[in-house]
Amino acid sequence: MSDVVLTGQVGNVLVVTLNRPEARNALDTALMEELSAVLRAAEADTEVRAIVLTGAGTVFCAGLDLKAFAAGASIKTLVWFFHRSVATPVVAALNGAALGGGFELMLACDLVVAAEGAKLGITEVRRGLFAAGGGTALSARVPMAQALELGLTGDPVTAERAREMGLVNRVVPADRVLAEAVGLAERIAENGPLGVAMTKKLMRERRWCTPAEVDEVFRSADAAEGARAFAERRPPVWTGR
């Protein structure tokens, strides 16, 4: 493992930090490969029930590293995360600006806590590109006129405006962003992991559950444990089975 991505565990929450502050945490090949590996490992780890993704320094992520792009880097390593995220809930802790690919990283997360005044936007058209990491699907989440304004002008909006648009859950002072995001992730991690994962899957796919999916969760050991814990007036002990 390199030092371009840092990890730390807080109970069942994994805190993942993009660590290229000197480059505003821009996505180069090394960072994307490391981040991809960390996210895949976290998804497979039953002890990780929520993830917090943040950036070192004062910027969350400035997007694709254009110097690396000129040298041949692409976003292919992270396309899978942009498109389907992970089964584990991910909370973005935007300690600062999230632009271009950084904004699309935010979109791939499930909940967003942002610093007051942080600038957020899909700026790719300013560099002759387009938002290939999920920004072009923005119209599925906000009104078409708003999505087109962001996508065609490349102009960022503030965290406060993004909250009004429904893209950000909470806006707090910069020094409280990480703690707020970890607290939110801990609240998620208290719940049954199978039910949480199924809820995320179905909500993201915008569909009803199938009978098999109902059985998968409702007949699980965790479902039985949840009922027992309620009857016995104690916190449940989840196993993810």
If DSSP codes are grouped into helix, strand and coil, which group holds residue 23? helix
Would you tell me how many other CB atoms lie within 10 Å of the CB of residue 21? 14
Whether 236 is in a domain gets the answer no
Residue 1 has a pLDDT of 54
The reply to whether 135 and 202 lie within a common domain is: no
Segment-wise mean pLDDT, segments of 10 residues, the chain, 241 residues: 89 97 94 96 96 97 86 81 94 97 96 98 92 90 96 97 97 98 98 96 94 95 94 94 92
The reply to whether 22 and 34 lie within a common domain is: yes
Whether 108 is in a domain gets the answer yes
Tell me the catalytic residues. 104, 124
Strands 119-121 and 157-158: antiparallel
Structure tokens at 63: 């997007």
Q: For residue 126, give the CATH number of its domain.
A: 3.90.226.10
The DSSP element (H or E) to which 17 belongs, if any, is strand 13-18
If DSSP codes are grouped into helix, strand and coil, which group holds residue 80? helix
d(CA 88, CA 108): 12
pTM of the model: 0.94
Burial class of residue 155 (count of CB atoms within 10 Å of its CB; 0-12, 13-18, 19+) = middle
The reply to whether 35 and 110 lie within a common domain is: yes
Q: Provide the number of structural domains found in the chain.
A: 2
Residue 155 has a pLDDT of 97
The reply to whether 209 and 184 lie within a common domain is: no
Whether 237 is in a domain gets the answer no
The DSSP element (H or E) to which 232 belongs, if any, is none
Distances (CA, A) of 75 to 6, 110, 113, 131, 237: 20, 20, 24, 11, 39
